[in-house]
């Protein structure tokens, strides 16, 4: 930015319905209400703008009201510079995500580099692998959604589970495996829905049906429980991923307990793409697999998450194919999905345009 003190921050609310409510063990997500953020660099010739998005999700981030209050503070404080604006939202993860992303978008544009190369200082990356997100519906719905996804080119499906009996979930998994054949990677996300015995039963079935990964089978607090599942012979070949558990315990405690093979990184819940990037570099060093996902965000945050994934060397399939879950969006999606991959935008910055227009 030409002069850090000539920045202007605006934000406006949005509300987007999901095309179909997403059922999870943790509740149903049927709309996403958040704030689009625009930071303008008044000091530069052409007054470039950077975009950010704060889309709070109860249970994962601050409340909508706290997010809005934080953005109001950032709009005041940015007069004193970008550091003051970040400081004003430091405790509100979704608001911090928005302010950080808008600033990084501006800086990467100024450096004439796509955002993922600016944050990762790594090579050019054309695409990142993604998973299809399949809601916790009936067996018939689950099989239909999974086969649809495979027909559209996905080679990894993540099934939500944990809302019904573990026997019913095992039946869902069995039927999906039968329908998609042996070559599709299957993952299961129980969103904390199981007891240890239920999870161990599911784990045994997961091994039988070649499920590669169980995400957050137990409540977030259960660090030892997840470590025990990892060590349980019944789950040979099935990785354990923590998502909610990362927000509760942090990386150090998870490593000390040896509680995870993989960690789910949600930039919206971690306080931004920059924070998630730091965590990803750190856990990769510790031989833990980082997986980037959205919280079913609008186009700005989703594209930020795609850039984050593109900055991670050899990233495994990420939960970034969530645009289709929304009935509408803030603007045109710069990320194409093709054969189970997200095509990474190569324009400078984030690469999102036209979202502020009425
Ligand atoms: O990972 C994906 O496929 C999509 C993202 C997703 O599942 C999700 C979306 C909103 C809130 C929580 C979660 C989750 O991973 O538990
Ligand atoms: Mg999850």
Ligand found nearest the CA of 22: 1
Nearest CA to ligand 1 atom 2: 319
Distance CA(310)–CA(292), nearest Å, equals 10
Ligand found nearest the CA of 217: 2
- What the block records as the tokens of 116 is 């993922």
Whether ipTM tops 0.95, in short, is yes
CB of 131 within 6 A of ligand 1: the answer is yes
pLDDT values of the chain reduced to their tens digit, one per residue, 358 residues: 556 879 999 999 999 999 999 999 999 999 999 999 999 999 999 999 999 999 999 999 999 999 999 999 999 999 999 999 999 999 999 999 999 999 999 999 999 999 999 999 999 999 999 999 999 999 999 999 999 999 999 999 999 999 999 999 999 999 999 999 999 999 999 999 999 999 999 999 999 999 999 999 999 999 999 999 999 999 999 999 999 999 999 999 999 999 999 999 999 999 999 999 999 999 999 999 999 999 999 999 999 999 999 999 999 999 999 999 999 999 999 999 999 999 999 999 999 999 998 6
Which residues, listed in sequence order, are joined to residue 252 by a DSSP beta bridge?
A: none
Nearest CA to ligand 1 atom 11: 295
Report CA(293)–ligand 1 centroid distance (Å).
6
Residue reference for tokens 């194919």: 321
Report CA(304)–ligand 1 centroid distance (Å).
16
Active site residue 160: yes
Res 5: pLDDT = 74
Distance CA(261)–CA(291), nearest Å, equals 11
CB of 294 within 6 A of ligand 1: the answer is yes
CA contacts within 13 A on the Cβ side of 1: 23
Distance CA(304)–CA(271), nearest Å, equals 12
Binding residues: 189, 215, 243
Report CA(294)–ligand 1 centroid distance (Å).
6
Contact between 116 and 344 (Cβ < 8 Å): yes
Distance CA(15)–CA(11), nearest Å, equals 13
Which residues, listed in sequence order, are joined to residue 101 by a DSSP beta bridge?
A: none
Type and span of the H or E element at 156: strand 156-160
DSSP letter assigned to residue 61: B
Contact between 185 and 176 (Cβ < 8 Å): no
CB of 322 within 6 A of ligand 1: the answer is yes
Res 4: pLDDT = 82
Active-site option among 158, 266, 339, 348: 266
Binding residues for Mg(2+): 189, 215, 243
pTM beyond 0.95, yes or no: yes
């Amino acid at each position: 930015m030409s002069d850090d003190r000539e920045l202007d921050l605006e934000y406006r609310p949005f509300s987007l319905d999901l095309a179909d409510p997403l059922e999870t063990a943790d509740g149903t997500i049927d709309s996403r209400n958040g704030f689009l953020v625009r930071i303008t660099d008044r000091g530069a010739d052409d007054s470039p703008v950077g975009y950010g998005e704060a889309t709070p999700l109860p249970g994962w981030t601050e409340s909508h009201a706290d997010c809005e209050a934080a953005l109001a503070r950032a709009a005041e404080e940015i007069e004193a510079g970008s550091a003051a604006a970040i400081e004003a939202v430091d405790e509100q993860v979704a608001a911090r995500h928005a302010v950080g992303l808008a600033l990084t978008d501006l800086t990467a544009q100024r450096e004439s580099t796509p955002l993922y190369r600016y944050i990762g200082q790594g090579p050019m990356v054309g695409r990142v692998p993604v998973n299809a997100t399949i809601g916790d519906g009936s067996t018939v719905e689950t099989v239909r959604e999974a086969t649809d996804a495979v027909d559209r080119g996905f080679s990894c499906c993540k099934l939500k589970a944990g809302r019904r009996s573990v026997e019913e979930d095992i039946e869902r998994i069995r039927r999906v495996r039968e329908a998609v054949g042996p070559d599709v990677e299957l993952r299961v996300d129980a969103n904390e829905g199981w007891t240890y015995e239920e999870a161990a039963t599911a784990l045994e079935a997961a091994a039988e049906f070649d499920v590669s990964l169980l995400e957050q089978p137990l409540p977030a607090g259960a660090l030892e429980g997840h470590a025990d599942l990892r060590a349980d012979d019944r789950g040979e070949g099935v990785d354990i991923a923590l998502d909610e558990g990362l927000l509760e315990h942090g990386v150090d405690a998870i490593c000390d307990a040896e509680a995870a093979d993989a960690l789910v990184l949600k930039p919206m819940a971690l306080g931004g793409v920059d924070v998630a990037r730091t965590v990803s570099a750190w856990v990769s060093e510790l031989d833990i697999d980082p997986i980037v996902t959205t919280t079913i965000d609008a186009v700005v945050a989703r594209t930020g998450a795609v850039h984050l994934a593109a900055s991670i060397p050899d990233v495994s399939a990420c939960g970034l194919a969530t645009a289709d879950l929304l009935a509408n969006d803030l603007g045109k999606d710069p990320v194409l999905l093709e054969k189970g991959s997200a095509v990474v935008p190569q324009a400078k910055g984030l690469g999102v345009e036209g979202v502020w227009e009425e």
